[in-house]
Structure 1
């Protein structure tokens, strides 16, 4: 890696948006720490990006200890909390939502991202870095079936919002990428054709624009960010 290479931690990095961001940052010669549950696919991304790879679930405290060890004493220019759990598929109405599965969604989508930010804030401060929590329009819209996932993303938005207020020297963002052609989105619509959704790679320029321009902390929607061609 170049001597002055930037450094990022990306969760949910083996597929979808996390993978797309990892490949884009590797092209910029970033040093990467990648975390994902799918060990085989994570290894494919690791070999393409020369990253440090941690196979495991961010909801597992032991995995987060491995993340802390990988981050070490160095600075971090970016923490991308991208790993998410959809919950049951097909998506159930809230009156039938299994509460144990709702708790698991909140553990992955709310508790784990906050835990990761708690352990990486010193490294972010050391590098004047950026923290990004991947959100969803389900956090603010009342969509049938999306109550569990949407509520977890709304909670993550508010944690991110307050964390930004508590850390005014850092840039801390909620980033709504919009609908994408991902495995999670397909699981939300089993048996349906989602080929009309954009590929995750098409959303990466909006995130890179956010990182390059560093606007005030807040919630940003990919489609509303001005990205130069």
Structure 2
């Protein structure tokens, strides 16, 4: 895959700055690892707003990040319990971000990580229930667009402040996987969404990052529920042969991209291209 790299952006930052960081789907898996690593790489005076549906998991994460062994001192962590498919969730997230924000912050970082696999036990011809499809797209596409737009409106461009938007993408945004119509459609739509955003907002740094096959609950679901036998076997074999990645391995590559800051805004970059 061709790398999307430019050389006219100042590379190799030491940290993410004094930042307001918003991470969705932060209670477990890749999102939880992202929260831990982001907290470690921001300057004191930063704030981390973590969003997920599980309050217990978020509180556990908050305690961990506030512990002496994790993160940097002086980083506030605020939890927002929210289902992104619900309209009122966006307002609660934006309110929490405004409360956590300080004028001393020089970086706004939004990581759109929340997402679901959808029903992979069926083929395209079985999806005749419009409400079912609408529900998936609302949770995985519409909510992502509306949250991103809400954060950009709440924190407009101003001199001396960087704004970065990350979309956690997938190879499925580029390649079709039989019996994965919902997931592939959602990921492709999100990639295009952020390509358009990069065109419209040249001051933004926009990145779609495909983290690779991660050892998470989603991979277990893929191994056990995928209808297409060849796709299912590929995931089973990948797991059996130790070819899946840890969340920590993939997160390190994403942080490398963000710190080097030399990618073309709007690019889709796969972990194996970093």
Fold similarity call, TM over 0.5: yes
Shifted more, 6-15 versus 135-144: the winner is 135-144
| Residue 247 of structure 2 corresponds to residue 216 of structure 1 | no
State the match for 1:175 in structure 2: 209
State the match for 2:157 in structure 1: 125
CA contact (8 A) 1:81 1:113 kept: yes
Q: Which has the larger radius of gyration?
A: 2
CA contact (8 A) 1:87 1:101 kept: no
Q: Distance in 2 between matches of 1:189 and 1:91?
A: 11
Post-superposition offset of 1:5: 2.9
Q: Distance in 1 between matches of 2:252 and 2:121?
A: 30
Post-superposition offset of 1:178: 1.2
Structure with the larger RCO, 1 or 2 (CA within 8 Å, 6+ apart): 2
Q: Distance in 2 between matches of 1:182 and 1:124?
A: 35
| Residue 60 of structure 2 corresponds to residue 44 of structure 1 | yes
Q: Distance in 1 between matches of 2:156 and 2:62?
A: 23
Post-superposition offset of 1:124: 6.2
Alpha-carbon RMSD across the aligned residues, in angstroms, is 1.9
Q: Distance in 2 between matches of 1:104 and 1:128?
A: 34
Helix, strand or coil at the partner of 1:129: strand
Q: Distance in 1 between matches of 2:258 and 2:130?
A: 37
Post-superposition offset of 1:100: 2.5
Q: What is the CA deviation profile of residues 182-201 of structure 1, one whole-angstrom value per residue up to 9, with x for unaligned ones?
A: 11221122278536311111
Q: Distance in 2 between matches of 1:37 and 1:25?
A: 20
| Residue 253 of structure 2 corresponds to residue 206 of structure 1 | yes
CA contact (8 A) 2:212 2:245 kept: no
2:38 is matched with which residue: 12, 16, 25?
25
Normalised by the size of structure 1, how large is the TM-score?
A: 0.89
Q: What is the CA deviation profile of residues 168-227 of structure 1, one whole-angstrom value per residue up to 9, with x for unaligned ones?
A: 1111111111111111221122278536311111101111012112222111111211xx
Helix, strand or coil at the partner of 1:8: strand
Post-superposition offset of 1:125: 2.7
Post-superposition offset of 1:119: 0.9
Change in CA separation of 1:23 and 1:201 when aligned onto 2, cut-off 3 Å: same
Helix, strand or coil at the partner of 2:175: coil
State the match for 1:34 in structure 2: 50
| Residue 224 of structure 2 corresponds to residue 185 of structure 1 | no
Helix, strand or coil at the partner of 1:188: helix
Which stretches in structure 1 are left out of the alignment for 5+ residues?
A: none
Q: Distance in 2 between matches of 1:124 and 1:198?
A: 36
Q: Which runs of 4+ in 1 moved over 4 A?
A: none
State the match for 1:141 in structure 2: 175
